[in-house]
Chains A and B, each alone.
Chain A
Amino acid sequence: MQQPIDGVLEAPYVMEYTYRRSLGPVMSAFFTALRDGRLLGARTASGKLVVPPLEWDPETGAAIAGLEPVAEEGVVTAATWVAAPEARHLLQEPFAYALIQLDGASTAMLHAVACASLEACPVGTRVKLVWSESRTGSLRDIRCFEPVK
């Protein structure tokens, strides 16, 4: 005969992704280098430099030829002004989101530019990378870019 059960049965339930994923050979190298304060790009077989790096040539789909160091300065190719930053934003004071083409790169990278107004960092402005003080291997290891004086 079944024994009566005292109280309510309980079991733990945790909302989680019960797996881990790897960043793969290219992004893993990129983010590890970021943590160490270095910037890497992907050289394609056709000679283009893709920054941030992708595993495959975005034009041909071929595997990239290799990774190499990239300059920490570049040019703004598109920009929009964030007048009232929210918690989700990279910076908590007004800033510009920008696409930044680093010197030698064939593509542009999305990040924040710290400047007083959009007039101070329009398309064409030369900017340089500012590292975060504590780095963990994420895109936020780059604190922002700022105009080159």
Chain B
Amino acid sequence: MSTYNTSREEIAIVSFVELTPAEASQLDEIETIQTIVSRATDGAGIARDRIGFTVSGSCDMLVGRPFSWIMAMDGAGVSKPIEESHVEMDGAWALYEAWVRLQHGDIDAALIYSFGANAAEDLMQVLALQLDPYYLAPTGINAAEVAALQASAMLAGGATERQFAEVAVRAGLAVSVEAALAEPYTNRPLRASDLPRFSDGAVAMVIARGDYARSVCARPAWIQSMAHIADSHSLGVRDLSKAPSLEKAARLAGVGEKPTDLVEVHAPFGPQEVLAIEALRAAGLHGTAALNPSGGTRAAQSVMVAGLAAIGRAASAIHRGEASRTVGHASSGPALQHNLIAVLEERS
């Protein structure tokens, strides 16, 4: 484990809430944030005045309105000025910023939230806007087609379509492996059950230090470590059948140092879940780890939210007493380009 990736202060996830897709689809952005922030703070017995830092993760491209996140911030409560920040990324990276901020040791708690109004868009096209404008975007390729190329490279490297189908069943997107394999291809070698179901969504989380964390949470999910690494943006420069940055981040975070009870990975496309688990195992993941027991994020994939949701679910398993060491993963960029790993632990 790298020293830079280890918590220097005792910092724990003490509260995590997510809105159901049905709830999210009924609310506008401000109402959404008002609801989740109030559940994650007031609802968990955390006083707003103990929160010294607020940071959100979202993408204005999804709403098509510049500085959308500033308007949305009204929902977090800013009538008394707050210290805040924003990342134009999945909320998992907002968590990373909050975790770094808390290590200064001068504030008790930080609030993180993220939201994505996805349902109205052609997300496969919107996500292609992150490709480089010279060598990739002019080909007209979209996100599903990029993921299909990755799946093709995986098959050439020895993976099987049966593995993809098994992941689809675990995600609740197919009733059986046979049923998944019987589906026609949408983007060969991908089938409908390999693709995400995009939906509106929002999550909020509170992380806190030492004694304050213990005072507001019976079983805090202590952040042992966090690390994130990115691979090259060029699809043809790296071997798409592997996720080297995920493996490296997992090593930096010390995933293999102890047995793990539960893993929640954020894989926007099914085959990427196979790839992510392989990379975690290569980095030393061991123990009786349950893999994506929540079903993963694909059945209700909310862009900008899903990564923080995966880490939040890994924390909730500790809050509920179902696990004592868990690993949460978030990804960003095309074809699992950028990966973040959080190792969470129960402490007596």
A-side contacts of B190, CB under 8 Å: 80
A-side contacts of B123, CB under 8 Å: none
8 Å CB contacts to A: which residues of B131-157? 134-136, 138-142, 145, 148-153, 155-156
Check B139–A110 contact: CB distance below 8 A.
yes
Shortest distance from the beta carbon of A79 to any chain B beta carbon, whole Å: 5
Question: Once the chains are docked, how many angstroms separate the CA of A112 from the CA of B136?
Answer: 11
The size class of the interface chain A forms with chain B is 20 to 34
Shortest distance from the beta carbon of B210 to any chain A beta carbon, whole Å: 39
8 Å CB contacts to A: which residues of B185-231? 185, 187-190
Check A97–B234 contact: CB distance below 8 A.
no
8 Å CB contacts to A: which residues of B231-271? 232, 234-238, 240
A-side contacts of B142, CB under 8 Å: 88
Given contacts A79-B149, A80-B187, contact A88 B135 (CB under 8 A): no
Chain A interface secondary structure, helix, strand, loop or mixed?
Answer: mixed
The size class of the interface chain B forms with chain A is 20 to 34
8 Å CB contacts to B: which residues of A1-43? 23, 27, 31
A-side contacts of B238, CB under 8 Å: 58
Q: Does A82 sit within 8 A of B, measured CB to CB?
A: yes
Given contacts A78-B149, A110-B235, contact A27 B139 (CB under 8 A): no
Q: Does A132 sit within 8 A of B, measured CB to CB?
A: no
A-side contacts of B185, CB under 8 Å: 81
Check B188–A99 contact: CB distance below 8 A.
no
* Sample of 6 further A-B pairs with CB below 8 A, known A52-B236, A78-B150, A90-B140: A81-B185, A98-B149, A107-B237, A108-B235, A110-B135, A110-B236
